[in-house]
Amino acid sequence: MGHENITEFILLGLFSDEDAKAACFVLFVLCYIAILLGNLLVLLTIRGSRLREQPMYFFLSYLSFMDVCFTSTVAPKLITDLLAQQKTISYNGCMAQMFYAHFFGATEIFILVAMAYDRYAAICRPLHYMVIMSRQVCYVLVMASILGAFTHSIMQVLIITELPFCGPNQLDHYFCDVFPLLKLACMDTSLLVIVIITTTGVLSILTFVALVISYIIILSTLRTYSSQGCRRALSTCGSHITVVFMFFLPLIFTYVPMADSVSNDKVFALFYTMIAPMFNPLIYTLRNTDMKNAMRKMWCRDARFEGK
């Protein structure tokens, strides 16, 4: 391609085995449908019931919405590419995909932090809970999450758009992300790799550690509760902790590279782009009595209306 600016990238995808591609096509289509249905079910149940008045569910509805958006920036292209002969993405398309993936992903991280703060307030400061987590505070936390994520994503895109691309345009990934793109730049990017590890990687680790510490504080406070109150609080906290681990651990492994591990990156990325968003609705509904009751009320009521 000489030294012209690259106008498109070729995505190498997950793997080259043709039989595996067909099987994965079916598998990922089913996963994507499950993600859409599961998260939309959670979203509609919360918005259509009294649960939306509670801060925890207010945040959960945003988390489900972000899951749908986040997966939708990656999954449709991943699925169609499994059957495509030539997996290309335009330069602008690539930048847009990277921006949205980071934007929705980072918003999710910040919302998970807001949810941990909400659980801390509910369990450790029950008398002041309604003041600490007023509706205004909830909106401010969501807006702060969106602004923080926007700043993070813009930074990633600005770093990449400044790079010269002149040689090979084969991207060893199934979607556009920072590290695979840095490998293709016609310049020494070792300093930029350090910058991204410090911004994204360290941010992920610090957030994860902060979340784990907050849950340790919450769980130690729970010891003073009655056994029934303790069980109830444990089940909601258990759901949160599960989601946090499922989302953060693969993320940390991706953005804090131990070695030159792009093939592993793809597997880890699959975890937080497809697997975690699929399990989130299950984790939050199966272990949550309020959610199950709200679903039963709402969907059975709709069925009754249709019956009439």
> Measured between alpha carbons, how far is 146 from 140 in angstroms, rounded to an integer?
10
pLDDT value, residue 99? 96
Does residue 5 belong to any structural domain of this protein? no
Please answer whether residues 180 and 126 qualify as being in contact, where contact means their C-beta atoms are separated by less than 8 angstroms: no
DSSP label of 5 = P
Checking if the pLDDT of 228 tops 60, the result is yes
Q: Where are the alpha helices (DSSP H) in the chain?
A: 18-47, 55-83, 91-124, 129-132, 135-161, 178-184, 190-196, 202-222, 227-255, 262-270, 276-286, 289-307
Checking if the pLDDT of 253 tops 70, the result is yes
Does residue 1 belong to any structural domain of this protein? no
For residue range 150-202, what is the model confidence (pLDDT) as tens digits?
Answer: 999 998 899 888 888 887 888 888 899 888 888 888 888 888 888 888 777 77
Q: What angle do CA 87, 77, 73 make, to 5 degrees?
A: 140
**Which of 240, 250, 243 shows the shortest CA–CA distance to 271?**
250
Share of the chain above pLDDT 70, in %: 92
Lowest mean pLDDT segment, chosen from 90-94, 119-123, 129-133, 216-220: 216-220
- More confidently predicted of 80 and 265: 80
Does residue 2 belong to any structural domain of this protein? no
Per the structure, how many domains does the chain have? Answer: 1
CA dihedral 138, 142, 145, 150 (to 10 degrees): -160
Q: How far is residue 180 CA from its own chain's centroid?
A: 20
pLDDT value, residue 307? 56
Does residue 191 belong to any structural domain of this protein? yes
Does residue 136 belong to any structural domain of this protein? yes
Q: Whole-number mean pLDDT of the chain?
A: 84
Checking if the pLDDT of 98 tops 80, the result is yes
Checking if the pLDDT of 263 tops 60, the result is no
Token pair belonging to 236: 């909601």
Confidence of residue 301 (pLDDT cuts 50, 70, 90): low
For residue range 2-17, what is the model confidence (pLDDT) as tens digits?
Answer: 335 678 898 888 777 7
8-11/88-90 β-pairing: antiparallel
DSSP output for 47-103: HTSGGGGSHHHHHHHHHHHHHHHHHHHHHHHHHHHHH-SS-EEEHHHHHHHHHHHHH
- More confidently predicted of 230 and 124: 124
pLDDT value, residue 1? 33
Token pair belonging to 217: 């504080």
> Measured between alpha carbons, how far is 20 from 18 in angstroms, rounded to an integer?
5
**Residue 47 is part of which domain span?**
10-306
> Measured between alpha carbons, how far is 90 from 83 in angstroms, rounded to an integer?
18
Mean pLDDT for 193-221 is 82
Instruction: Tell me the pTM.
Output: 0.87
Please answer whether residues 111 and 142 qualify as being in contact, where contact means their C-beta atoms are separated by less than 8 angstroms: yes
- More confidently predicted of 7 and 104: 104
Residue 293 pairs with which residues in a beta bridge? none
Does residue 208 belong to any structural domain of this protein? yes
> Measured between alpha carbons, how far is 28 from 270 in angstroms, rounded to an integer?
10
Please answer whether residues 45 and 51 qualify as being in contact, where contact means their C-beta atoms are separated by less than 8 angstroms: yes
Please answer whether residues 252 and 211 qualify as being in contact, where contact means their C-beta atoms are separated by less than 8 angstroms: no
Does residue 282 belong to any structural domain of this protein? yes
For residue range 175-188, what is the model confidence (pLDDT) as tens digits?
Answer: 998 888 888 888 88
Does residue 72 belong to any structural domain of this protein? yes
For residue range 38-91, what is the model confidence (pLDDT) as tens digits?
Answer: 999 999 999 888 888 999 899 999 999 999 999 999 999 999 998 888 889 999
CATH of the domain at 160: 1.20.1070.10
